[in-house]
Amino acid sequence: MRRRFVIAGTDTGVGKTVFSAALVGALSAFYWKPVQAGLAEETDSQTVLRLSGLDSTHVLPEAWRLAAPVSPHLAAQLEGVVIDPDQLSPPDCDGALVIETAGGLMTPLTSSHLTIDVLARWKIPAILCTRTSLGTINHSLLSIEALRRRGVPIHGVAFVGDEDAGAQAAIAELGRVRALGRLPYLPELTPQSLRQAFVRCFRLADFREECAE
Ligand SMILES: Nc1ncnc2c1ncn2[C@@H]1O[C@H](COP(=O)(O)OP(=O)(O)O)[C@@H](O)[C@H]1O
Ligand SMILES: [Mg+2]
């Protein structure tokens, strides 16, 4: 079985897409966004294509593309469609696969299914992207607890933002998770700056190992 990761987040806007682009680029992996809600701005797949330094064959088509930039269940309602979470399954590809979820773990896909319900079925190791700013300990520990309760293996936590050594240590210790590293805010986001930051701040070997949990 080829390496697969789910890139989950404590929230929307925490840096999942930027981290995914860095990881996909570093591993020459494939990227898949199962549900894209919001098509007017650059989509996450387009961002990953722009920032990973890889060609478009590394970005697999989304299962659902919904126009409104809102929770997937609402975006689907607006289009008169219903996402079938049981039909969502990771595509085959010729290498490692990085899957970015929409929003946070409890973002709804339908009026009765959450994103985390799909992760509980897949059991693919999750990397939790989390901010370093104030409030992150609470959001991170809640997310870790929710993943554990559903038997989702946690590969580790990837911090995004300015260093907060106290908060980062608290999350790793209280959450009993591996801190994979911290991606700083980059004033200029380019494939080059992102690749350099990833190499500096993470150990590639950590993403080649099997999940500890
Ligand atoms: N390491 C970073 N350096 C600079 N900007 C970042 C970084 N990580 C995220 N951003 C910016 O923050 C915003 C949200 O990031 P994004 O990766 O799209 O979050 P998510 O996928 O969790 O919604 C975007 O505008 C993105 O460019
Ligand atoms: Mg995203």
* Domain interval for residue 73: 4-207
The answer as to whether 61 is a domain residue is yes
> Can you give the pLDDT at residue 2?
84
User: What's the residue count for the chain?
Assistant: 213
Mutation to probe ligand 1, out of 10, 11, 17 (largest number of atoms < 8 A from CB): 17
Nearest ligand, CA 159: 1
Work out how many domains the chain is built from and give that number.
1
The answer as to whether 165 is a domain residue is yes
Summarize pLDDT for 144-163 with one digit per residue, the tens. 999 999 999 999 999 999 99
The answer as to whether 108 is a domain residue is yes
Ligand 1 center from residue 1 Cα (angstroms): 30
- Give the closest residue to 98 by CA, choosing from 175, 173, 6: 6
d(CA 9, CA 129) in angstroms, rounded, equals: 5
The answer as to whether 212 is a domain residue is no
Active site residue 123: no
Nearest atom within ligand 1 for CA of residue 11 = 22
Ligand 2 center from residue 11 Cα (angstroms): 10
The answer as to whether 118 is a domain residue is yes
- Are 131 and 9 a contacting pair, CB within 8 Å? no
Identify the helix (H) or strand (E) that includes residue 83: none
Identify the helix (H) or strand (E) that includes residue 71: none
The answer as to whether 161 is a domain residue is yes
Mean pLDDT score, 124-139: 98
> Can you give the pLDDT at residue 213?
57
Ligand 2 center from residue 47 Cα (angstroms): 9
The answer as to whether 196 is a domain residue is yes
Mutation to probe ligand 1, out of 18, 50, 196 (largest number of atoms < 8 A from CB): 18
* Residue 96 CA, distance from chain mean position: 14
> Can you give the pLDDT at residue 208?
87
Nearest atom within ligand 1 for CA of residue 129 = 22
Summarize pLDDT for 105-116 with one digit per residue, the tens. 999 999 999 999
Q: CATH number, domain at 89? A: 3.40.50.300
Nearest atom within ligand 1 for CA of residue 184 = 1
Ligand 1 binding residues, C-beta < 6 A: 9, 12-18, 160, 183, 185-186, 189
**Structure confidence at residue 100 as a pLDDT band (50, 70, 90):** very high
How much is the pTM?
0.97
Q: Name the active-site residue from 3, 16, 33, 73.
A: 33
